[in-house]
Structure 1
Amino acid sequence: MALAGQVAIVTGGASGLGLSVVKKLVENHTSVAIVDLSREEGMQQESFLRDRGYDVKFFSADVTKQEIAKQTVTDIVNYFGKVNMLVNSAGVIRRTAASALPGEELDWILSTNLQGTVHMCQAVYPYMADSGCGSIVNFASMLAHYGSKNLLSYAASKGGIVQITKCLAVEWADHGIRVNAISPGYIETALAKGATQDPQFRERILSRTPQNRFGKPEEIAKVVKFLLSDEASFITGVILPVDGGLLAGDPSLYPPVTQIQYS
């Protein structure tokens, strides 16, 4: 699947990492439907990108609702004529102690991060299956792979995305649909600035990251572009960390060097 001339949907595409993916795709001559709850941001990005000659259209939608997700994809296909690729980057996070986690907060995070991803995958499925090809990239997280304080709901939602990615990759392979996910590490974005610019937090994370730096949104977008393209034609069901080596191991944890004794 060459990116030029194809149609991609990017949820959460009005800001953050989703917007970085949108920009990377349109630079490669892909038509992009930006799906987001924020009408103001979405319209601003549509206007900005269209003024630069890119083929984009904003669709305001709450993807936590299955019927809304389905209707939104129908509207996108009616507008662009087809859909070839889907990137599920829409997500929310809130930090709450597990013992005090309200049920409504758990419902909100699971419905946005996990159910929204499932709903959009279901919505694009008939169009991709009919065409005999398609590529989907979901956004998991490092929290899909290890635990953390105060992030039970977020980690549960991202762990679920790992499993739905694998299940859909297996179930839809016969229809030529590839389904993969990425697990971003700590990325320098406006939303993450409060954490990444805190001196103590920054020092802790960088000391655990083999590459000793935070990632850039562009680096996430490049990986998503690769997984969507035919360059990744034999890759499906993969959960790819993009984290500077954080999940590979902690470089500060190693035994002391001792003198080796030979007899």
Structure 2
Amino acid sequence: MNAGKVAIVTGGVTGLGRAVVERLSNRGVRIAIVGITEELGRETERSLQEQGRSVVYYDGDVSDEEAVSRVVSEIYRDFGRMDYLVNAAGIITRAPAKSVQKEDYQQVLSINLVGGLLMCQAVYPYMAKDGGGSIVNFGSMLAHYGSKNLISYASSKGAVIQMTKCLAVDWAEDNIRVNAVSPGYIETQLSAGATKDPVFKERILSRTPQRRFGRPEEVAAVIDFLLSDDASFVTGVDIPIDGGLLAGDPVLYPPAAQS
């Protein structure tokens, strides 16, 4: 990862997006965070700038095409280059498939899928003009198997993986690499309920060969690699970061041996 390069991170104020911002800015990358929580975004900006990191927050809704075009052009104007994009912005809703509302389904798709595409399209001309770039989209383990009451989220993430592959093929000639990551159960605010519920936690761990939750910094480290020149011949792939969950037998593993 070369110091001085510029990365846009959507959803970079909290959770896994924030971990990516922390990782990249610590390595000298200049960061533009795009989000819709301006007060928290400005607080994040001030906190990291006080640590000597180059981080600027931009308020923008990734599902709004005009807002995306505006904010990306502002970022290029302010930073003078555009090397990396990490699409971490996303929402999750839960509803039975038989009763999920069209409006709710479309909202999830508009942010998780369409928002990612709009950001990719917006950065494309700048990256292509300047000789290339690297993009990482957020998939999910739920892109790879079905789950009860999560049809909207799982649909959006499955489509993100296919979008990633298509963009990788389309833009390879422009030296723009596009990859994805599919995090499993990671210790974030989103998973706090699972980590506090001993029954549900054991159900998760029983399906995870490494028998633990992942850490946000472990996800950020993989994204760091995919963005960097160390991954210069890697494009169109999705990397699970799940402690072996997707690799294992879907039948629950035996309880861990007691010492």
TM-score, normalised to structure 1, is: 0.94
Aligned partners of 1:76 and 1:254: how far apart in 2? 48
Give me the CA root mean square deviation: 1.3
Unaligned ranges ≥5, structure 2: 255-259
Preserved CA contact (<8 Å) 2:207 2:253: no
- Residue aligned with 2:194, SS: helix
Aligned partners of 2:39 and 2:104: how far apart in 1? 25
Amino acid at match of 1:233: S
Aligned partners of 2:11 and 2:3: how far apart in 1? 22
Q: Where does 1:18-37 land on structure 2 (aligned, <5 Å)?
A: 18-37=17-36
Q: Where does 1:45-84 land on structure 2 (aligned, <5 Å)?
A: 45-84=44-83
TM-score, normalised to structure 2, is: 0.96
- Aligned counterpart, 2:237: 238
- Residue aligned with 2:190, SS: coil
1:152 aligns with 2:148: no
- Aligned counterpart, 1:163: 162
Aligned partners of 1:104 and 1:91: how far apart in 2? 16
Change (3 A) 1:198 1:10: same
Q: Where does 1:73-222 land on structure 2 (aligned, <5 Å)?
A: 73-222=72-221
Amino acid at match of 2:38: R
Amino acid at match of 2:47: F
Change (3 A) 1:251 1:155: closer
Aligned partners of 1:254 and 1:103: how far apart in 2? 37
Preserved CA contact (<8 Å) 1:169 1:236: yes
Aligned partners of 2:106 and 2:164: how far apart in 1? 20
Deviation, 1:250, is 2.8
- Residue aligned with 1:90, SS: coil
Change (3 A) 1:33 1:209: same
- Residue aligned with 2:76, SS: helix
Deviation, 1:199, is 1.0
Unaligned ranges ≥5, structure 1: 256-263
Preserved CA contact (<8 Å) 1:142 1:241: yes
- Aligned counterpart, 1:247: 246
* Range with greater deviation from structure 2 (29-38 or 65-74): 65-74
- Residue aligned with 1:100, SS: coil
Aligned residues: 254
Aligned partners of 2:253 and 2:143: how far apart in 1? 25
